[in-house]
Amino acid sequence: MAFDPKISYNDLPPLPPVVYVETKTILKETIAARSALAELKGLGETIPKQALLVDSLILQKAKASSEIENIGSGKAAGE
């Protein structure tokens, strides 16, 4: 079957969606979310040495990933 950009792939709906997404409810929630992010940003700026926090999160993520993959545990998968 040849590619036709006018035909949806895998029964996906056409873009852009026909639904109007900028409703009052969504806009109000967006404002609340923006306010919460601004508050979080302000609180984050009060943390001394923010780089240490970020670096520790990266290390925690790497450790968790290694544990999932059984890297460095000395055990083969299935043991």
Looking at the predicted structure, is the pLDDT value of residue 14 above 80? no
Question: How far is Cα 71 from Cα 59, in angstroms, rounded to an integer?
Answer: 15
Residue 22 has pLDDT above 80, yes or no: yes
pLDDT score, position 42: 93
Please give the structure tokens belonging to residue 7.
Answer: 């035909």
Residue 10, SS3 per DSSP: helix
Q: Is pLDDT at 55 greater than 60 in this prediction?
A: yes
Statement: residue 40 has pLDDT above 80:
yes
Q: What percent of the chain clears pLDDT 70, i.e. is strictly above it?
A: 82
pLDDT of residue 2: 76
Instruction: Report pLDDT for 74.
Output: 58
